[in-house]
Amino acid sequence: MSTKKLIAEKIKQSVKLLDEFNLDCWLTFVRESSINGDPALAFLSETALTWHSAFIVHRDGEAHAIVGRYDVPSIEALGVYTSVTGYVEGIRQPFISHFRKKDPKTIGINYSKGSEICDGITLGMYLTLQDLLSETSPGMEKRLVSAERMVSALRERKSAAEIERIKAAVSVTEKIWDDVARFMKPGMTEKQVADFILGQMKLHDVRSGWEVSSCPAVFAGIGVAEAHFAPGDKKIQKGELVNIDFGVRKNGYVSDMQRVFYVLDEGEINPPAEVQKGFDTIVQAIRKSKDAIKPGVKAFEIDAVARKTVRDGGYEEFAHGLGHQVGIFVHDGTAILGPLWEKYAQKPVQLLEQNMVFTLEPRVKIPSRGNMSIEEMVMVTDNGAEWLSSPQKELMLIK
């Protein structure tokens, strides 16, 4: 499916969600979006917008765009908007005219205290919006409400086309994993392995799933960092673990996976018992948490399953949530499979819904060996969950 058809699909979905969440319209209001882009803009436009731009989806099924003159052709080319209005001097007149005509009683906009994926409007644009609406009709600025629930559902309820794009990204990632397993050898540096992965991405015509400075992330043995860190000159040594975390972006959607390798020491044909135990614990935590997933379950309850498995194995709890959603962004959705910690706000108490896509990534540390972490991807189904990645069931051994 083309990006244009995908945008049409998501706008059609947003109309149904407006009715579900009792909103008269949904307004995404941006300017210089390549600098201050709204996370929801990917569902509304293929291109960045320069001047003040308004994308308005109404409960009656109409969708309108008000953009600067030079942005009109690219928005019209999408073929998804009831009208595309261009302006030269400023957005004020066409904006006020539109809202006077439609007179919505509730206007959902993209702000949220607890979900960054729904918090796209800047303070300056919010204040501008209030000014415009106050000129439209007395008190109309008071009709602004958060569109968080609606935008969350739009992002989290993946369409068939979105799921296919994610699966395609996963497929490429798994091919690269096979190449990495054949390439990696003791004595190589983290950066050498990362550069090889980047080269494979180029061969497969995909890009890094997130910032290339830490995608791929390669952690050899015991280091100063455990995640979100650039690969360095540390060499892969015998008797240590190597944890690699990366994803790819294909057709606008990403994957996010981790695999763990053990570098056999002199005379070893199998990993030491403590290494194998750590691996088995992680595999068990992922399997048990995947089996617990189903619609209607609170997100933190899945995290608790994996966390208990890690504790029962005699390990310290991992210092992050079990898993996050994946889509256009590597962290893409409000609900998170995490504990009830302050930093996660209300994300862990969200209910799981069909077609949400999550990672499962518990972690333990093996003293003197390194980080043991695997990251799989799953999708919530109507009565459970299915693998999107092919789960790692055996510790990959490097000779």
pLDDT in tens, the chain (399 residues): 578 889 999 999 999 999 999 999 999 999 999 998 899 999 999 999 999 999 999 999 999 999 999 999 999 999 999 999 999 999 999 999 999 999 999 999 999 999 999 999 999 999 999 999 999 999 999 999 999 999 999 999 999 999 999 999 999 999 999 999 999 999 999 999 999 999 999 999 999 999 999 999 999 988 766 666 788 899 999 999 999 999 999 999 999 999 999 999 999 999 999 999 999 999 999 999 999 999 999 999 999 999 999 999 999 999 999 999 999 999 999 999 999 999 999 999 999 999 999 999 999 999 989 999 999 999 999 999 999 999 999 999 998
Kindly list the strands in the beta sheet with 253-254, ordered across the sheet, starting from the edge strand earlier in the chain. 207-208, 248-250, 253-254
Beta bridge partners of 263: 398
Strand stretches in the chain, DSSP E: 25-30, 53-58, 63-68, 83-87, 107-109, 144-146, 207-208, 217-220, 241-246, 248-250, 253-254, 257-263, 357-360, 363-366, 370-373, 376-380, 385-387, 396-398
Q: What is the dihedral of CA 179, 182, 187, 189, to 10 degrees?
A: 10
**The dihedral sign for the CA sequence 208, 209, 214, 216:** negative
Residues of the chain with CATH 3.90.230.10: 157-398
* CA distances for 87 relative to 54, 64, 265, 340, angstroms: 12, 14, 69, 47
Residues of the chain with CATH 3.40.350.10: 3-155
Which of 30, 209, 229, 16 lies closest to 110 in space, CA to CA? 30
Residue 306, amino acid: A
CATH 3.40.50.410 for domain 157-398, yes or no, is no
Kindly list the strands in the beta sheet with 385-387, ordered across the sheet, starting from the edge strand earlier in the chain. 357-360, 376-380, 385-387
Note whether 239 and 369 are within 8 A (CB). Answer: yes
> Counting Cβ atoms within 10 Å, is residue 334 exposed (0-12), middle (13-18) or buried (19+)?
buried
Contacting residues for 288 by C-beta, under 8 A, at least 6 apart: 305, 306, 309
Give me the half-sphere count of Cα atoms (radius 13 Å) on the Cβ side of residue 363. 21
Beta bridge partners of 27: 56, 109
Tokens of 349: 């108490």
Q: What is the dihedral of CA 311, 314, 320, 321, to 10 degrees?
A: -30
DSSP 8-class letter at 222: S
Note whether 294 and 337 are within 8 A (CB). Answer: no
CATH 3.90.550.10 for domain 3-155, yes or no, is no
Task: Quote the Cα angle for 265-220-323, to 5°.
Answer: 120
* CA distances for 139 relative to 109, 142, 345, angstroms: 16, 5, 32
